[in-house]
Structure 1
Amino acid sequence: MWAYIRFELKNTLGYPIAMIVGGILPLVLVLSNYHATGHAALDQATAKGVFVTLLPMVPLGLVILPFTISFARDMTSGITNRLVLFGYTLTRQLLAKFIAVLLLVLSMTTLYWVVLSQMLPLPKLSLLALVMIYLSMICLAGGLYLLAFAIAQVFEGFNMIQGIAMLCYFGIAFTTGSMGVSQVPAGVTQLSRWIPFKIFRETLRAQWQGQQLAGFQDELLQMGVFILITFALYCLAKRYRRLKKRPV
């Protein structure tokens, strides 16, 4: 199984543009949006703001883009079906892909934190804050992974799936305020509340202000709801694919 996970890890790393968008772009956006004023308190507030705003972009970019695109390619080329013949069921394939993607997300989250803590005037993160960050990244990665699978199951054709994945990536980024857009239609705002980026940011800010457990329970609850919603989409997409393959 671990050999297959390593294969999936290399497979995911084989998409440079996706790795750049998911791994490098959040760092670039943080550094480009931070401007020192010489006022210590103001500079720290600005640094905290850009740090928490763009951190969710790490799982968003690394899950929605590389996994959806690689899975679409595998299905289009028949690799998924051939692996089933060799004993790797679809469930085992999905588990291996998720572990590979999760390792990338956690690695890039660590890089994001280490690099920016050295380059920006950020306060030190407590152990509880670090636990919250990594647990949140795991939950976000899980929910986005299920959403990515649903996209790859419902749509057909490599180019179509790649286009939908990109549309989904930028759509979530804009509606959740990750790309600097604050004014969006009310309906879009209501929709984005089901994506727990905002509550994650608020909880991390509260951690930095010394409110040790403020909002953490609410965040975990919203993360759980997000995973349940995406799991429902996953089940519907899987059933849709099965019905579509059934001979008329």
Structure 2
Amino acid sequence: MKHYIEFELKNTFGYSIGMIVGGLLPLMLAISGYHASNDIEQNRELAEMTFTMCLPMIPLGLVMLPFTIAFAKDIEEGISIRFSLFGYTKLKQLFAKFISILFMVSGICLLYFLVLQVVLPLPVPSLAALLLMIFGILIVTISFYFLAFTIAWFFKGFNTVQGIAMVAYFGIAILTGTIGSFEFTGIMKKISDFIPFNSFRMELANHWTTTSFDMSNVFVHLVVFMVFTILLFCIANIYSIKK
């Protein structure tokens, strides 16, 4: 299993577009988006908002693009089936891919945190804020992991999956205000609110140095979104088996 996880890591790291949009882009946007003023308190608040605004881009970019595309390629080339013949069942493949994705997202998030702690006037976050940051990113990563599997399994053809993964990435980025600033109404507003980026960002930024605060609302929002993606995954899996 160790060697298979290493294979998955190399496979995912091999897509440079994912490293750019999930690793380099959030860092560059955070640094370029911060503009200091003469007000120290205002600078601190702006740094916190800038950090939290770009943080969810890491799992979004790393999971939705390279992982979805890599898995679609494995399916099309029959690599997943060949691994099954060597004892790596679908469940084991799911586990190995998740560990590799989690390792990659954790590493990039840690690098993002350390660099911006040096570059921006960010105060040291409280333990409560750190816990929200860690578990929030973990839940978002799991959510996109199942969504990526759903796309790769349900849609056929590498090019089709690649296109849908790109649409999903930019769609989520636009709906959550990560790219651009749009005022949505109607169904688009409901979809935008359902994706837990904004609630996670605001909760983290507003309680950056707060030693204790109620996280129940944001965690409920995160978990509901995760359950929704798991349900989509189950539906796609059942459809795949029946077909």
**Equivalent residues in 2 for 1:137-216 (5 A)?**
137-208=137-208, 210=210, 212-214=212-214, 216=215
Q: Which one-letter code corresponds to 1:212 in the other structure?
A: S
State yes or no: 1:41 paired with 2:38: no
Which secondary structure state, in structure 2, belongs to the residue aligned with residue 9 of structure 1? helix
5+ long unaligned stretches in structure 2 = none
Runs of 4 or more consecutive aligned structure 1 residues displaced over 3 Å after TM superposition: none
Q: State the identity %.
A: 45
Q: Which one-letter code corresponds to 1:234 in the other structure?
A: F
Which secondary structure state, in structure 1, belongs to the residue aligned with residue 194 of structure 2? coil
Q: Is the 8 A contact 1:175 1:192 kept in 2?
A: yes
State yes or no: 1:111 paired with 2:108: no
Aligned to 2:225: 226
Q: CA deviation at 1:38?
A: 2.7
Which secondary structure state, in structure 1, belongs to the residue aligned with residue 122 of structure 2? coil
Q: Is the 8 A contact 2:150 2:237 kept in 1?
A: yes
Q: Which one-letter code corresponds to 1:228 in the other structure?
A: V
Q: Which range moves more in the overlay, 166-175 or 35-44?
A: 35-44
Q: Partners of 1:208 and 1:138 in 2: how far apart?
A: 18
> Residues 119-164 of structure 1, C-alpha deviation per residue, up to 9 Å, x if partnerless?
0011111122112111111100001100010000111111110110
Q: Which range moves more in the overlay, 201-210 or 90-99?
A: 201-210
Which secondary structure state, in structure 1, belongs to the residue aligned with residue 3 of structure 2? helix
Q: CA deviation at 1:211?
A: 6.3
State yes or no: 1:217 paired with 2:216: yes
Q: Is the 8 A contact 1:206 1:212 kept in 2?
A: no
Q: Partners of 1:91 and 1:193 in 2: how far apart?
A: 32
Q: Is the 8 A contact 2:69 2:161 kept in 1?
A: yes
Q: Is the 8 A contact 1:22 1:59 kept in 2?
A: yes
Q: Partners of 2:18 and 2:142 in 1: how far apart?
A: 18
Q: Which one-letter code corresponds to 1:72 in the other structure?
A: A
> Residues 215-246 of structure 1, C-alpha deviation per residue, up to 9 Å, x if partnerless?
x11111111111110011000111111122xx
Q: Which one-letter code corresponds to 1:89 in the other structure?
A: T
Q: Which one-letter code corresponds to 2:216 in the other structure?
A: Q
Q: Partners of 2:224 and 2:36 in 1: how far apart?
A: 38
Aligned to 1:237: 236
Q: Give TM-score scaled by structure 1 length.
A: 0.94
Q: Which one-letter code corresponds to 1:71 in the other structure?
A: F
Which secondary structure state, in structure 2, belongs to the residue aligned with residue 193 of structure 1? helix
**Equivalent residues in 2 for 1:75-94 (5 A)?**
75-94=75-94
State yes or no: 1:2 paired with 2:2: yes
Q: Partners of 2:36 and 2:72 in 1: how far apart?
A: 43
5+ long unaligned stretches in structure 1 = none
Q: Partners of 1:213 and 1:180 in 2: how far apart?
A: 31
Q: Is the 8 A contact 1:26 1:54 kept in 2?
A: yes
Q: Partners of 1:220 and 1:59 in 2: how far apart?
A: 17
Change (3 A) 1:211 1:189: farther
Q: CA deviation at 1:209?
A: 5.4
